[in-house]
Amino acid sequence: MMALPFGLSPAAAAFLAAAVFAAAFVRGYSGFGFSALVVAAAALVANPLQFVAVATVWEMLMSVQAWRGVWRDVDWQRVGLLSGGAAIGLPLGLWALTSVAEDAARAAISAYVLLMCAVLIAGWRMRGEAGRGATAAVGVVSGVANAPGMGGLPVAAFFAAQPMRAQVFRATLVAYFPLLDLYSAPLYWWHGLITWGTGVAVVAGLPLVLAGNWLGGRHFFHTDPQEFRRFAILLLAALSALGLLKSVM
Q: What is the pLDDT of residues 39-89, one digit of tens each?
A: 888 988 888 888 999 998 998 888 777 666 667 888 999 999 999 999 999
The whole-number pLDDT of residue 143 equals 93
Number of domains the chain is built from? 1
DSSP 8-state assignment for residue 162: S
Whether residue 125 lies inside any domain: the answer is yes
**Confidence check: pLDDT of 1 > 50:** no
Instruction: Measure CA 39 to chain center.
Output: 8
Range of the domain at 143: 9-248
Q: What percent of the chain has pLDDT over 90?
A: 29
Residue-averaged pLDDT of the chain:
85
Kindly state whether residue 175 falls inside one of the protein's structural domains. Answer: yes
User: 31: phi > 0 → left, psi -120 to 50 → alpha, else beta; which?
Assistant: left
What's at 231, amino acid-wise?
Answer: F
Work out the end-to-end distance of the chain between its first and last CA atoms, rounded to an integer number of angstroms.
33
* Residue 4 belongs to some domain of the structure: no
In a domain, 3, yes or no: no
pLDDT band per the 50, 70, 90 thresholds, residue 169 = confident
For 195, phi then psi, to 5°, come to -135, -175
Q: From the CB of residue 189, how many other CB atoms can be counted at a distance below 10 Å?
A: 13
Tell me whether residue 63 is in a domain.
Answer: yes
Phi, psi (5° rounding) for residue 68?
A: -55, -35
Its pTM stands at: 0.81
- Produce one character per residue of 41-73: b if its CB has 16 or more CB atoms within 10 Å, e if not: bbbbbbebbbbbbbbbbbbbbbbebbeeebeeb
C-alpha–C-alpha distance, residues 98 and 245, integer Å: 21
Alpha carbon distance 173, 170 (integer Å) = 5
In a domain, 106, yes or no: yes
**Residue 243 counted as domain residue:** yes
Q: What is the pLDDT of residue 226?
A: 67
pLDDT in tens, 105-155: 888 888 888 888 888 787 778 778 888 999 999 999 999 999 888 888 889
Residue 136 is assigned to a structural domain of this protein: yes
